[in-house]
Structure 1
Amino acid sequence: MALFSKNMEQATAAASKAADVVAEWEAKAAAARAEAARLDAESGAAILEDESAAERITLNVQTWERKARAYDQAAEEARRKHVSAYREALEVEAREEDKQAAAAGKTAAALTAKVAALVGQLKELENVDFAAVPVYVGSTGKNYALPNSEILQATTRRHEVRAALIRYYIQTGTLTNDVHDLNQLLGTALKDNAISIGGEGIEIPGSLLAARDAGLSFVGA
């Protein structure tokens, strides 16, 4: 998972606050509509008891209905702000993934260069070639530990793919588990060998799963 910066925390907090505002206005609209329905349902008995109350009750019902419509409009505006805030949070998250990918890639390159230099020294000392062999772990002798450089390279790919997934979702409103889709839309050059997305492969960012489940789309926003 990416280590979120303060900017990421702020963007996430803004999106969460915007979602709370939407929920607040929706609750007010629902309550106003319920009150209007209650008054209307009880109006018959009240009017039979006092016919002069008809106009007052009608105005009261209309007032609550008008309030509900006003709250609906406020909720719609809040939804637009929520979408905007959530998209900004995703864009920040993608940049964080870029930073993590760059950091892991830089470390991997430095390690590879250091190992190559050491192997060169050994070859010069012994006048023979040296090659890496797997270190087996466990009792079966079939599993082996990955070299640190490969672990760092895999970390780099994971962050690169997660950043691409976020940008893909922003542009399409959909998720994909195909690296070719990412490359085609975004113009990236992600290698698809040994890459699986979702399941036990590269994890899809939780922010995207939440956006999908909430029906959030940023296409045209």
Structure 2
Amino acid sequence: MGIIKRTTADALKAAERADATAAKWDDKAAAVRAEAQRMDAEAGAAILADESQAEKITISVQAQERKARAYDSAAAEARREAAQARDDALRIEADELDRKADQLDKRADRKAEEVAEALAKLEAADGYSWERKPTETHPLTGEPTRWSADGAAGDLRGQARTLRLAAQHNRYYLEHGKRATYERELTEGKVFTRFSGMEGVHVREDHTTALLSAAAAGQPLTPDLVS
């Protein structure tokens, strides 16, 4: 039997279940505290009517308060589990993005081989060397200034790089507790301060997943955010 991998959605559903459990324990704690307060408020009249009830009532109130503290602890543990599950979701998403990037790189390699074979046949048939048309030219002279050296393969590798930077952004957030500002922070794992002269280009929007955007904004993380 193969190993079943936990998905990002699985982790988010686990977080939702833990949040629901925490809410349940919170409700129980509130209910028993209310009961303890009611008993304490009514204790005076009960003790005046029968002084022998004083110790019994005190013990009952303390028992309810003890029960409330136990529920508080259970709720806190459930919230810790929910927070861990949300962190797990970001880690798993990063791993999934890396796997998708690997697949794109493999497609890029196959595409580059196909193009190289086709170009070799074309040059052999034509007797001349071929090169790609420039994608940018000088506005005044018309001279080529930029080429798309890798064509379709290059586009696929560019998509793979974007996914890897998005994966690194998730990990950066988990380590530093904030979104990155500069791309070098993702590629080097360092925090660069503004105006340091070393920060480089800013992180693009497509280097941030919907899940990370919600996490950084303190918004609920739900399975529908998973791409």
TM-score by length of 2: 0.67
1:168 aligns with 2:172: yes
Identity %: 34
Identify if the C-alpha distance between structure 1 residues 194 and 207 changes in structure 2 by more than 3 Å, giving closer, same or farther: closer
Cα-to-partner distance string for 1:24-75 (whole Å, 9 max, x where unaligned): 222222332233334444555x448735455444333322221111111112
- The aligned residue for residue 153 of structure 1 is 157
- The aligned residue for residue 130 of structure 2 is 129
- The aligned residue for residue 179 of structure 1 is 183
Structure 1 unpaired stretches of 5+: 135-146, 187-191, 217-221
* TM-align CA RMSD: 3.4
- The aligned residue for residue 203 of structure 1 is 208
1:83 aligns with 2:87: no
Q: What SS does structure 2 have at the residue aligned with 1:7?
A: coil
- The aligned amino acid for 2:158 is A
- The aligned residue for residue 109 of structure 1 is 109
- The aligned residue for residue 71 of structure 1 is 71
- The aligned residue for residue 7 of structure 1 is 6
Stretch deviating more after TM superposition (62-71 or 88-97): 88-97
Q: Considering only CA atoms, is the larger Rg found in Structure 1 or Structure 2?
A: 2
Structure 2 unpaired stretches of 5+: 136-150, 191-198, 222-227
Identify if the C-alpha distance between structure 1 residues 193 and 207 changes in structure 2 by more than 3 Å, giving closer, same or farther: closer
- The aligned amino acid for 2:49 is D
- The aligned amino acid for 1:165 is H
CA contact (8 A) 1:43 1:57 kept: yes
- The aligned amino acid for 1:158 is T
Identify if the C-alpha distance between structure 1 residues 26 and 123 changes in structure 2 by more than 3 Å, giving closer, same or farther: same
User: Displacement of 1:205 after TM fit?
Assistant: 4.1
CA contact (8 A) 2:184 2:200 kept: no
Identify if the C-alpha distance between structure 1 residues 25 and 84 changes in structure 2 by more than 3 Å, giving closer, same or farther: same
CA contact (8 A) 2:32 2:68 kept: yes
CA contact (8 A) 1:11 1:89 kept: yes
Stretch deviating more after TM superposition (67-76 or 22-31): 22-31
Once the two structures are superposed, the pairs formed by residues 6-85 of structure 1 within 5 Å of their partners are: 6-8=5-7, 9-43=9-43, 46-47=45-46, 50=49, 52=51, 54-85=54-85
CA contact (8 A) 2:87 2:174 kept: yes
Distance 1:211 1:50 in 2: 59
- The aligned residue for residue 146 of structure 2 is none
Q: What SS does structure 2 have at the residue aligned with 1:213?
A: coil
User: Displacement of 1:100 after TM fit?
Assistant: 0.5
- The aligned amino acid for 1:7 is R
Distance 1:202 1:108 in 2: 20
**Number of positions where the alignment pairs a residue of Structure 1 with one of Structure 2:** 192
Distance 1:24 1:39 in 2: 23
